[in-house]
Amino acid sequence: MIRTTEYIDLDLKAEHWHCNRCGHDLGSAHESYKKGCLVYERNPQEVHPRLIDHEELNFSFHPDWIRLIEFYCPECGVMVENEYLPLGHPLTWDIQLDLEKLKAKHQNGVVK
């Protein structure tokens, strides 16, 4: 297993993403690990509540413009990622690896 993010590992041999807290398989490394996660869309104003009692002043994104997306491991429930996206924007594919080159580096002992 190769640690890829704080919560995601890559099983290079099987070419699959895994939660590194519980080992749950999050799917093929040829696709986004987010496809194997539970997805929760939140109102940004729930996460960033108004700090002062004034209707015009708010430091949160407006929910008509931005959505907060959270990604959770379906097995243990750890939040593996989150992102703010404009409405209608597809989920980002934030990690795309050249698996063949990565395998070659590991087989040749370049990366340990």
60-74 per-position pLDDT tens digit: 788 899 999 999 999
pLDDT, residue 107, reads: 80
Listed in sequence order, the DSSP H helices in the chain are: 44-47, 99-107
pLDDT, residue 22, reads: 96
Which residues lie closer than 8 Å to 80 by C-beta, 6 or more apart?
5, 7, 8, 19, 26, 33, 37, 71, 72, 73
pLDDT, residue 67, reads: 93
pTM, entire model: 0.84
Rounded CA-CA distance 5/20 in Å is 9
**pLDDT tens by residue, 98-107:** 888 888 888 8
User: Going by DSSP bridges, is the β-strand pair 38-42/25-28 parallel, antiparallel, or unpaired?
Assistant: unpaired
Rounded CA-CA distance 73/80 in Å is 7
pLDDT, residue 110, reads: 60
